[in-house]
């Protein structure tokens, strides 16, 4: 069966929007300046900054005004209870399944947080499995996590497509394995010179539709 390997954060779900909402609620709940929202989002860097580094910077800035346990709770949850799956993404995944595609999520991050996002968004009902870096012991773009994802759904790696927003983790990982890929641009311009995606799409629904349509 044809295989779709899909990134989670800022691909299937808008991770940054969910985390932004969680941070805004955190600041308001602790009487901290709302203007600090931009500072925390910049510090977080779409989740690429290690959580302990974000926690340390916030502790230094806020001291006792924001207890370390509450900061850690914010970062551990990561807005997982606020992620939303768009109707277009839901429809595209449903159409892929109806046409015989197997879909598996391949995501970097802590297992509990990423699985919470998957279940909260209802993705567990739309995909056939997932591989999370903490559980696998390897992060994208390492080939091991992509192979673990295929094993989790019993599908071959050959002929698979990778869909994601990260040039390095998703598209670079696909390139290293000789797989076709779709870069979810989210309004950005491709800047890598060492490799390129097979296709470019504005969002994940368009990406999935391109892949499924091309295979018909």
pLDDT digits 0-9 by tens, 198-216:
999 999 999 999 999 876 5
76 with 158, same domain: the answer is no
**% of residues, the chain, pLDDT over 90:** 97
Per-residue H/E/C for the chain: CCEEEECCECCCECHHHHHHHHHHHHHHHCCCCCCHHHHHHHHHHHHCCCHHHHHHHHHHHHHHHCCHHHHHHHHHHCCHHHCCCCHHHHHHHHHHHHCCCEEEEEECCCHHHHHHHHHHHCHHHCCCEEEEHHHHCCCCCCHHHHHHHHHHHCCCCCCCEEEECCHHHHHHHHHHCCCEEEEECCCCCCCCCCCCCCEEECCHHHHHHHHHHHCC
* pLDDT level of residue 154 (50, 70, 90 thresholds): very high
For residues 63 and 95, membership in a common domain is answered with: no
Among residues 33, 51, 80, the one where a domain terminates is: 80
Is pTM beyond 0.85 here? yes
pLDDT of residue 214: 75
Query: By residue range, what is the domain housing residue 59?
Result: 16-80
- Average pLDDT on 121-141 reads 98
Same domain, 132 and 44: no
> What's the pLDDT tens digit per position in 36-52?
999 999 999 999 999 99
Q: What is the pLDDT of residue 146?
A: 98
With a cut of 70, say whether residue 32 has pLDDT above it: yes
pLDDT of the residue at 213: 85
Q: How many domains does the chain have?
A: 2
User: What is the predicted pLDDT for the residue at 216?
Assistant: 59
Q: Give the pLDDT mean for 128-150.
A: 98
Q: Select from 36, 56, 80 the last residue of a domain.
A: 80
Assign 187 a pLDDT band (cuts: 50, 70, 90).
very high
Same domain, 55 and 162: no
We report the CATH number of the domain holding residue 125 as: 3.40.50.1000
pLDDT the model gives residue 215: 65
User: Is 30 in the same domain as 111?
Assistant: no
The answer on 91 and 109 residing in a single domain is: yes
- Percent of the chain's residues with pLDDT above 70: 99
Q: What is the pLDDT of residue 1?
A: 74
Domain identity same for 190 and 115: yes
Considering the domain architecture, whether residues 185 and 99 belong to the same structural domain is answered as: yes
* Average predicted confidence (pLDDT) for the chain: 96
Tens-digit pLDDT profile for residues 49-90: 999 999 999 999 999 899 999 999 999 999 999 999 999 999
Q: Are residues 58 and 132 in the same domain?
A: no
């Amino acid at each position: 069966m044809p295989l779709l390997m899909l990134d989670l954060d800022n691909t299937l779900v808008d991770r940054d929007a969910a985390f932004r909402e969680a941070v805004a609620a955190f600041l308001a709940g602790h009487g901290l300046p709302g203007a600090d929202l931009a500072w925390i989002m910049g510090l977080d860097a779409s989740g690429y900054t290690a959580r302990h580094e974000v926690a340390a910077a916030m502790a230094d800035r806020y001291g006792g005004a924001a207890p370390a346990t509450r900061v850690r709770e914010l970062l551990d949850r990561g807005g997982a209870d606020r992620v939303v799956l768009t109707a277009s993404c839901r429809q595209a995944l449903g159409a892929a399944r109806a046409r015989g595609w197997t879909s598996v999520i391949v995501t970097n991050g802590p297992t509990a947080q990423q699985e919470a996002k998957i279940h909260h968004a209802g993705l567990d009902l739309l995909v056939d499995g997932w591989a999370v870096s903490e559980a696998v012991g390897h992060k994208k773009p390492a080939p091991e996590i992509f192979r673990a994802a295929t094993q989790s759904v019993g599908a071959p790696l050959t002929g698979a497509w990778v869909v994601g927003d990260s040039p390095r983790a998703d598209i670079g990982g696909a390139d290293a394995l000789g797989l076709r890929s779709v870069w979810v641009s989210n309004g950005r311009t491709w800047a890598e010179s060492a490799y390129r995606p097979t296709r470019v799409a504005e969002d994940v629904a368009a990406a999935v539709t391109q892949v499924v349509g091309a295979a018909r």
